Amino acid sequence: MPHTPPALYSFRRCPYAMRARLALQVSGIDFEHREVVLKHKPVHLLALSPKGTVPVLWLRGPDSEKVLEQSLDIMLWALRQHDPLGWLPSADADMADALDLIAHNDGPFKQQLDRYKYPNRSGLQNGVADRDAAALWLHKLDVRLRAQLFLTGEQFALADAAIAPFVRQYAHTDPGWFAAQAWPALVAWLTAFEGSALFEAIMHKHAPWQPA
């Protein structure tokens, strides 16, 4: 029976979907890209994952199927299938460090980012307080990046891919303000990410998916 590649429901600008696509791209796994229009979510996406958010990876097989609804789970699944660039830390302590960074990104930083970017949704006049609170963590990342090229060492890896799309969203909320801050290593890291062939590859524009 022919192999059926997994299907990824994605949205181009969503940072969670970006990081899932980064890992799938690097792993070399063949997959079907299904671009979602958020105002008109496909019925099949909602059947697979009633929460209705992207990314969702549908693993299809002749005997069974599985649905991965969390972007980090998709990253880890893809890299555990094939990790040619060594994105997954080999030592337990290094993996714990990477996952701690990602947990802060996905927790406090993401909450502050949302309140900064969309203050009206939280009943705020502006997002300055959350911008400044989030900046404290970004300064810590800058300290790391002054000591080493990437967040967990000398090569772009799991933590960089998981976090960079969110730092990018923060930076683009007020580019002039971001560029004026004293975090040169962070700016260089983000600039390199945005200028990379990998980022270009995962930001290719896809037409909205339509069921056959």
pLDDT in tens, 24-38: 999 999 999 999 999
C-alpha distances out from residue 134 to 55, 56, 128, 130, 208, Å? 24, 27, 10, 6, 33
- Residue 62, pLDDT score: 67
What does the pLDDT read at residue 63? Answer: 67
Three-state secondary-structure class, residue 86: coil
Element spanning 185, H or E: helix 184-194
Average pLDDT over residues 131-137: 98
User: In whole angstroms, what is the distance from residue 121 CA to residue 189 CA?
Assistant: 30
- What does the alpha-carbon distance between residue 119 and residue 80 come to, in Å, rounded to a whole number? 38
Do residues 54 and 7 make contact, with C-beta atoms less than 8 angstroms apart?
Answer: no
Query: What are the start-end ranges of the H helices in 82-183?
Result: 92-104, 110-117, 128-147, 158-173, 175-179
Average pLDDT, whole number, for the chain?
A: 96
Is 80 exceeded by the pLDDT of residue 61?
Answer: no
- Segment 66-73 shows an average pLDDT of 97
Q: Is the pTM of this model over 0.75?
A: yes
Beta-sheet strand order (sheet of 32-35): 32-35, 7-10, 56-60, 65-68
The pair of structure tokens assigned to 90 is 């080999």
What is the mean predicted confidence (pLDDT) over 146-156?
A: 97
Tell me the pLDDT tens digit for each residue of 78-95.
999 999 999 999 999 999
Q: How far apart are CA 36 and CA 210, in angstroms?
A: 9
Predicted confidence band at 65 (pLDDT cuts at 50, 70, 90)? confident
Q: Mean pLDDT throughout 138-158?
A: 98
Residue 184 pLDDT > 80, yes or no?
yes
The pLDDT of residue 2 is: 52
pLDDT (0 to 100) of residue 53: 96
User: What is the pLDDT at residue 1?
Assistant: 42
Place of tokens 């309140």: 115
What is the 8-class DSSP label of residue 60? E
Q: Give the mean model confidence (pLDDT) for residues 157-169.
A: 98
